[in-house]
Each structure stands twice: as C-alpha cells, then as structure tokens.
C-alpha cells in the first residue's frame, strides 16, 4: 500500500493484511481484506523516537529486535491470554501502532466496529481491547507513561451520544450488556463508571477538561447528512495516565474539518514538562526500522492523508504546530480556537492545494449508523 508522509515527517504505520501468511481461517481472512483498515503516527524529523512496533500483541515484532532492545517491549501476560495464532489475527487488520517517544509510549488505535449481531466479531473486538489493556498496563507496571489515542468505536456515556440522549438508551443495564463499553468504563477514572475503574486508571483527557460539554461529537453518519445537525457521537479520544494528563494544556475537536465522517481530535502537552517530546539533536538521525518516508497517499480512499497537512505559508499565527508540543496522528492541521464556552472547538486550516476531496459517505459499505456504537 502507498503511505502518505509529508516532507519533514517520519511515519510509523500498520496496514491491513494477512499477517498469518495464509494461516488465518477463511472467515477471518475475509474481514482482513487489504486496504480495509490502517493507522499511522507522524513524528517530526528531529524528534527522538526510541522504538516503534506494528500491532499491539508483539507477535509482529521480530524476536531479534526484542532481544537487542530495539522494540517497545513489555508484553505482560499477553502469551497467557492468547495463543500465537490469535495474537497474529488480532494484529492482522492494521489496528495499532506503538511509538516509544521516550517521555511516553503512544498507542495509535483503531478499534473494530460492530454493525450487526456477529458474535465472532464481538469476540474479536473484545479480545483486541483486552490486548490493548494488557500492553498498556505492562508498560505502566514498568514505570512507563502512556498515551492511547484513536477511534475506539464506542461512546463512553450518555453525554457522548446524540441518540443516547434522544432515546435514553444509556441506562446501566444497557451499559452492562455492551462489553466494549463496560471495558472502557473500567479503564477510565472519574465520571460515569468510576466505581468500576481499576488500578492505574486512565484519564479521558477531554472529559476531564470539559465534563459538561454536550454535542462534542467526533463521528457522524455523513451519508445521511447527520453532521449538518450535529447528530453524532464521541468515539475518538485520548486516554492518558494521570501524570501525562496533568501535563496536557489543551485538548479539543475540529468538527469542521472536511473529508471524513470523523473529526480530528488533539491534545497539547506543555513544553518543557517531563512528558514533552525530546529532540534527537541530529535531524539526520536514523529512523526506527518501522519508520517510513514514503510519500503521497493512495487514490480511492475516503480522504487522502495529505488533506490533513497544509503548506507553511498557510499557517495561522496561533497554529498549534509551532506553539506547543503536539501528540498523536489524529492532529490534523488545526489552529487553537478563541476561548469561549465551546473552547474545545478548533478551526480547520487550508489543506494542500490541488488535492481532491471525496465528500459524503465512507467506504464501500457507507457510513455506519450511529446506533451501531450501542
């Protein structure tokens, strides 16, 4: 596959493919069609990257890289929870990339979605989330800090969903029936479900900063025009350990950034804090083996990744790229909004000139109904 990587950046990515070399059962291989899913994390050249891994289980990382310390490491009880075949299957859809930035380990996550009553797929999603939990807890136990960001394909509470508010779907009984939501609520400290939160709970950075913000959605059924009335859900967010969360100075959403049924989300970490990114001191420093500088995105996708980056001449004076540390591949060329009662909103910046956009629905199957997140 072609991977977009603008000049001046390194990319660390995972794409959907047959990780088992043909050994995946037919039912699973059908879901793992090439091009279905993928994640990419972009790091400015000159920033220090200690290590990077494709996948969350560690099954795709060559043993020699682990042995020589050229891997993120810390796999916890992964091999006890899953056999190798299942680990390879969980990592076969390009749903996670880990990048060790020194100050913290960044998880870029695209959790599986559930659009029908498919018990096998529901089990796959839950196993994937369990693998994420095993990995981040192993890192915390080793004294590391973590930032988990991405599309989690489940909303956390009533306030995070228009359909839940309208139809009052989010009672405790329903939450208990949705295993993905039950998992999420166990991970997050504060707010709904806090009583069930486990040790070393993560912080939902957005909700800590804006606990009462309504209509702060990140995903809509664009094929039905739901974004026009803001009938959506918040399923994209940053989850951090307590120490890293305390260093976040800004977080937000850019709902007007066109080209996808999801809005970009971002956090800013205080420059100079223990959690801020470090320079390599050498812009020509060798890239981690997982890194790539291949340029230009593939055609036929919902939106080109180059849409997310803008020319230097188009930057606004208060552009977040130049004003503070930025974290995560989900930051898409946004400027800080004026402080008001909806201060989490960010204005989109002009994309690269001459790049065509595809508006409307998502992939071949169209955008999922918002009810699928419940």
Known binding-site positions for Mg(2+): 151, 153, 261-262
Catalytic residue chosen out of the listed positions 262, 307, 332, 344 = 262
Separation CA 164–CA 157 (nearest Å): 8
Q: SS3 for 235?
A: coil
CA 195, 196, 197, 199 torsion: positive or negative? positive
Tokens standing for residue 128: 């994937």
Is 36 annotated as catalytic?
Answer: no
Sheet strands (E) in 208-247: 219-220, 232-233, 236-240
- Phi/psi for 70 (5° steps) reads -95, 45
Label residue 327 left, alpha or beta by phi (over 0 means left) and psi (-120 to 50 means alpha): beta
Separation CA 345–CA 234 (nearest Å): 13
Q: Are 211 and 205 in contact (CB under 8 A)?
A: no
- Which residues lie across from 148 on neighbouring strands? 107, 239
Catalytic residue chosen out of the listed positions 75, 110, 217, 231 = 110
- Which residues lie across from 95 on neighbouring strands? none
Rg of the chain over CA atoms, in angstroms?
19
Q: Are 276 and 160 in contact (CB under 8 A)?
A: no
Separation CA 133–CA 96 (nearest Å): 13
Q: Are 137 and 76 in contact (CB under 8 A)?
A: yes
Is 91 annotated as catalytic?
Answer: no
Is 136 annotated as catalytic?
Answer: no
Give the neighbor-by-neighbor strand order of the sheet with 96-100.
Answer: 51-54, 96-100, 105-110, 146-151, 236-240, 203-204
Q: How many CA atoms lie within 13 A of 154 on its CB side?
A: 22
Q: SS3 for 20?
A: coil
Cα–Cα nearest to 253, from 227, 272, 274? 227
CA 115 vs CA 215, 297, 315, 366, 368: distances in Å: 23, 28, 39, 11, 7
* Run of H or E residues at 9: strand 9-15
Active centre residues (catalytic): 110, 151, 262
């Amino acid at each position: 596959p072609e991977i977009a990587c603008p000049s001046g950046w390194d990319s660390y990515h995972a794409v959907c493919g047959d990780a088992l070399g043909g050994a995946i059962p037919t039912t699973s291989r059908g879901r793992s069609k090439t091009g279905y899913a993928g994640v990419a994390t972009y790091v400015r050249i000159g920033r220090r990257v200690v290590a990077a891994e494709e996948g969350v289980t560690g099954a795709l990382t060559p043993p020699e890289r682990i042995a020589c310390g050229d891997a993120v490491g810390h796999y916890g009880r992964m091999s006890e929870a899953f056999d190798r075949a299942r680990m390879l299957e969980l990592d076969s859809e390009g749903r996670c990339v880990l990048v060790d930035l020194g100050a913290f380990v960044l998880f870029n996550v695209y959790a599986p979605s559930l659009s029908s009553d498919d018990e096998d797929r529901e089990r796959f999603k839950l196993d994937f989330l369990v693998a994420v939990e095993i990995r981040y807890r192993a890192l915390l136990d080793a004294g590391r800090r973590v930032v988990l960001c991405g599309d989690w394909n489940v909303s956390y509470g009533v306030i995070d969903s228009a359909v839940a508010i309208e139809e009052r779907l989010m009672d405790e009984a329903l939450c208990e029936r949705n295993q993905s939501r039950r998992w999420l609520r166990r991970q997050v400290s504060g707010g709904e479900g806090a009583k069930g939160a486990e040790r070393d709970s993560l912080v939902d950075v957005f909700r800590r900063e804006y606990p009462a913000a309504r209509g702060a959605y990140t995903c809509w059924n664009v094929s039905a025009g739901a974004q026009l009335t803001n009938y959506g859900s918040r399923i994209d967010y940053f989850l951090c350990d307590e120490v890293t969360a305390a260093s976040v100075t800004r977080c937000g959403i850019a709902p007007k950034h066109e080209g996808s049924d999801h809005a970009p989300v971002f956090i800013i970490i205080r420059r100079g804090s223990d959690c801020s990114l470090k320079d390599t001191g050498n812009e020509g420093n060798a890239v981690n083996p997982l890194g790539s500088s291949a340029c230009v995105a593939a055609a036929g996708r919902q939106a080109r990744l180059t849409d997310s980056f803008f020319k230097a001449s188009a930057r606004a004076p208060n552009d977040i790229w130049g004003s503070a540390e930025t974290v995560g591949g989900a930051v898409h060329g946004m400027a800080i909004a004026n402080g008001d009662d909806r201060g989490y909103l960010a204005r989109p910046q002009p994309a690269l000139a001459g790049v065509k956009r595809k508006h409307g629905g998502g992939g071949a199957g169209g955008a999922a109904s918002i009810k699928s997140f419940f």
